[in-house]
Amino acid sequence: MCSTASFGGNSCGSRDEEMIKRKTQKRRDVCFKCKTGDPFVVIRQGDPFCGTCFDTHVIHKFRQGLGKTKILYPGDKLLVNISGNVSSLAMLRLLATGYDTASHKKITADPKIVVVDDSFMFDSGESPVPAILREVERVPDMPRQVFVVPFQLVFLSNFRERCKEFYEGNKDRKIVDFNEMRVDFEKLADSARSTFSNIETVSAREDIHRSLRLQILSTLAGILHSTKIMMSDTSTDLAARLLSSVAVGRGANLPHETQYLDNRLPGVTFINCMREFTPKECAYYLRRLGVAPITVLTHSTLLDPIVGSVNRLTDTFISGLQATFPSTISTVMKTSAKLQPMSNCSRNCDVCLLPIIQREADVTDKMSELDLEDKLCNGCVIALSECEQDVREIVPKSSNVKAILDEFLIS
Amino acid sequence: MPTECVECGKRAILKRPKNRKALCKDCFYSVFEYEIHETITKNRLFKPGETIAIGASGGKDSTVLAHIMKLLNDRYDYGLNLVLLSIDEGISGYRDDSLETVKRNQIQYSLPLKILSYQELYGWTMDAIVKEIGMKNNCTFCGVFRRQALDRGAAMLKCDKIVTGHNADDIAETVIMNILRGDIARLGRCTSISTGSEGMISRCKPFKYTYEKEIVMYAHFKKLDYFTTECIYSPNAYRGHARTFLKDLEKIRPRAILDIITSGEDMAIKEEVRMPIQSTCQNCGYIASSELCKACIMLDGLNRGRPELSIGKNNKRKKILKMTAEKAKEAGKNGKLNGANAVHDISVSQDVENMF
């Protein structure tokens, strides 16, 4: 970003060139850490890692995050959300290193792996669950119990009670598959699909989808008496989320959305344990272990990267900027670390579970036509305002949102 | 069938960029003007009897601002004395033309006009500065100087407040940019509608919630006389990225601009984060976050012939200046060079170079 290259000889431009020259002159044929191993991956410009040093580096980084926050205690039930994407598989493997007998500081929390299956929403239709289960099976050393939750369950009335009942009956099984519940899954899937097709914009669809996913996870945490949920969003994901949260009016909740620990709900902590990782590090770690990534679709996967949705656009924007200005993501993450939640919050939003900040009535009244501000947060009001009248079906019947919507919406 | 105006049922001529509602010309005027009036009254921007300087560049925003301020002042009886204040940065082929527009506006709105130039305030024109530093970072100089020049001009005219034509798009863009740059201090204050600390003339932005596209439409339909050329010196790389992003976002969801502003207002900064402390410049008494204000530092850099030192970290600049002075002293002792030339001494420049 330095200038004056066009002006005279004393320019920063020539300095930049010199630096790059100096960097490239470094020996690149051996690992910069141990000076003996063959280079495997370059994650900082000019500093190649050998495979072993790279492993140590990522494992150390993973453990450092958990250690610094002192979040895990012996015997804790720890929900591990595995979606099948690269970062979630890397997270699983990194967590497993903590159970390795050779590990000098073992993780003693009790991991419960959760796979939420939403593949029925997308046209490809092929569920990634079998592949994920195979992958989970391959992980050595780790004690594990796996929970497979079909996404459409969240549309079931008294979702929580029914799931709890099912869990109580099957709690000792190695794989607790909620697909075995006596429920008409096809009907639920249809109602989920039709609800989502009634949301006009893909941006709102993605927003609500994510909220419902978090609801499933937190409900399951409640059923299992667990208070900690591991999420696998990388620094790139979180930087993009910060920006898209700003764009959808969730500015008050940025710390919850992007910091290492997300305490949006009292009693449940979402741990963003991959916050310091780049997707590249995750991908190369998996490559070291010979793990193939699993394709996972989202609402905007097949859409245009610019006009697809707010999320998709922010992703494209952040990665583009990162390519030109390599400090972008780390700067955004640093900005996020300096923010704190607003203090004037009364209760949590019924949809996305984020705290709602209280405002003076006339300040907010810029555009919103839904008068739900006391029950929903600003971001969800915006998302729901892009839904057709069937909006009331959107929100799980288990929560009390349906009642609110019935009360306030004119149909 | 023609689209009908949602307010009065007449034939609509435009869809509001803000919410895509169809409106006829008259309803658009009244909605547009009323919303700005609302912003002014709700935020209590002015008090009766105040003298207000309108920062006028001749561009669309400030031309519409001058028009609207005059209109609302008469219509709702704000009791304000309005003054146009222009800054002449000394950019030939751009500012001289736009100032002609401002002069015409002065006659059209019969408002007093004051033009202040960089040349008389700082002894430099932007043309000369660009010759010195090239086409990158020149906007940093211009921005810092203009901010101060506006304040000085307003003080000369004994104004109580300055209004600027910053619109919702500008503010949203600034929020995004401050996040990307990690500028937490500015992130905290960039969304406030009225800024100003003690002893300084406060500035406010009546267009904070007004979409740029609506301003353009208003100027277009009212046939206002404004100047449209982009500044010849502003490639403006980084802001450009934020701008493109924002325009793309607006296409997906028009209300996003307002949502970004709401988000910016809602952010809370951790108490333990160290923020720059605002003090006054030892040299000129203007507001500053270190011993000297940025304008004095930049001017000093320009006058020394090392303008690039005035951008970036302050302590690095001090260190380099100290080193240059020592070298100069030493050189003077050895009788090789006198102090004034030492700045351009090649060996010194190389030392400086190595520090980066």
Chain centroid offset of residue B226 CA: 18
Query: What is the structure's pLDDT at B83?
Result: 93
Distance from C-alpha of A95 to C-alpha of B46, rounded to nearest angstrom: 59
B96 within domain boundaries? yes
Task: List the 222-281 stretch of B: residues with Cβ below 8 A of A.
Answer: 238, 241, 245, 248-249, 251-253, 255-256, 258-260, 262-271, 273
Report d(CA B255, CA A311) in Å as an integer: 15
Within-domain flag for B3: no
* Nearest neighbour of B262 by CB, restricted to A201, A242, A378: A378
**Who among A6, A307, A378 is closest to B134 (CB)?**
A6
CATH number at residue B177: 3.40.50.620
What was the pLDDT predicted at B294?
Answer: 84
Q: What angle do CA A155, A159, A160 make, to 5 degrees?
A: 145
Residue B15 has pLDDT above 50, yes or no: yes
From chain B, pick out residues whose CB is under 8 angstroms from the CB of A364: 262
Which structural domain range is residue B207 located in?
28-266
Please tell me whether residues B143 and B57 are part of one structural domain. yes
Residues B199 and B301 in one domain: no
**Together in a domain, B188 and B291:** no
Lowest-confidence segment of A79-88, A182-191, B121-130, B304-313 by average pLDDT: B304-313
* Beta partners for residue A230, in sequence order: A80, A271
Same domain? For B202 and B79 the reply is yes
pLDDT at B314: 65
Phi/psi for A338 (5° steps) reads -90, 0
- Between CA A190 and CA A120 the distance in angstroms is 9
Nearest to B193 by CA among B160, B171, B215: B171
Contacts of A332 in chain B (CB under 8 A): 179-180, 182
Q: What b/e string do you get for A192-208 counting C-beta neighbours within 10 Å, with b at 16 or more? A: beebbeebebbbbbbbb
Q: What is the rounded CA–CA span in Å between residue A332 and residue A320?
A: 14
B287 shares a domain with B239: no
What domains does chain A contain, in order, with CATH numbers?
Answer: 22-70 (no CATH), 73-339 (3.40.50.620)
Domain boundary among B204, B237, B266: B266
Of B240, B266, B292, the domain-final residue: B266
Q: State the average pLDDT over residues B277-304.
A: 81
Instruction: Judge if B116 and B89 occupy the same domain.
Output: yes
Mean pLDDT, residues B201-221: 92
**Residue B205 belongs to some domain of the structure:** yes
Q: Which amino acid is at A119?
A: S
Q: What is the pLDDT of residues B93-117, one digit of tens each?
A: 888 888 999 999 899 999 999 999 9
In this structure, are residues A308 and A300 in contact, taking their beta carbons and an 8 Å threshold? yes
Mean pLDDT calculated for residue range B137-151: 86
**Domain-terminating residue out of B266, B290, B310:** B266
* Chain B positions in Cβ-Cβ contact with residue A245 (cut-off 8 Å): 263
Q: Is the ipTM value over 0.90, yes or no? A: no
In a shared domain, residues B176 and B203:
yes
Residue B147 domain flag: yes
Q: How many structural domains are present in chain B?
A: 2
Summarize pLDDT for B160-187 with one digit per residue, the tens.
999 999 999 999 999 999 999 888 888 8
| Mutate: best of B267, B306, B313, B354, partner A, most A CBs <10 A | B267
Instruction: Specify the pLDDT at position B96.
Output: 86
- Same domain, yes or no: B85 and B153: yes
pLDDT in tens, B44-61: 999 999 999 999 988 899
Q: Does B230 lie in the same domain as B209? A: yes
CA–CA distance, B328 with B331 (Å, rounded to integer): 5
Q: For residue B7, is it within any domain?
A: no
Helix, strand or coil, per DSSP, at residue A242: helix
Say whether pLDDT at B67 is over 90.
Answer: yes
| One-character DSSP codes across A138-163 | H--S---EEEEEEGGGGGSTTHHHHH
**Which among A156, A148, A158 has a CA at the least distance from the CA of A179?**
A148
Confidence (pLDDT) at A343:
77
For residue B137, pLDDT beyond 70: yes
Q: What is the mean pLDDT of residues B309-327?
A: 69
Residues B322 and B191 in one domain: no
pLDDT band at residue B233, thresholds of 50, 70 and 90? confident
Q: Is-contact B211 B82, C-beta < 8 A?
A: no
Which of A4, A331, A339 is the closest to B268 by Cβ? Answer: A339
Concatenated DSSP letters for B101-162?
A: HHHHHHHHHT--EEEEEHHHHHS--HHHHHHHH-SSSHHHHHHHHHHHHHHHHHHHTT-SEE
Tell whether B327 is covered by a domain.
yes
Distances in Å between the alpha carbon of B199 and those of A410, B44, B195, B252, B280?
Answer: 52, 19, 12, 43, 10
Distance CA B3, CA B24 (A): 9
Reference A149, options A216, A205, A97, A95; nearest CA is A216
For residue A304, which residues of chain B lie inside 8 Å, CB to CB? none
Q: Quote the CA–CA distance of A372 and B260 in Å, as a whole number.
A: 20
Structural tokens at position B138: 């020149």
- Which regions of B5-112 does DSSP assign to beta strands (E)? 14-15, 22-23, 51-55, 81-88
B218 shares a domain with B178: yes
> How far apart are alpha carbons B55 and B166 in whole angstroms?
10
Please report whether residue B137 resides in a domain: yes
CA dihedral sign of residues A45, A46, A50, A52:
negative
A248 contacts A207 by C-beta, under 8 angstroms: yes
Residues of chain A short of pLDDT 50, as ranges, are 1-12, 361-372, 392, 396-398, 400-411
Of residues A367 and B297, which shows the higher confidence score?
B297
Task: Choose among A313, A340, A362: nearest Cβ to B248.
Answer: A313
B36 and B151 part of one domain: yes
* Domain assignment of residue B23, yes or no: no
At A94 the pLDDT is: 94
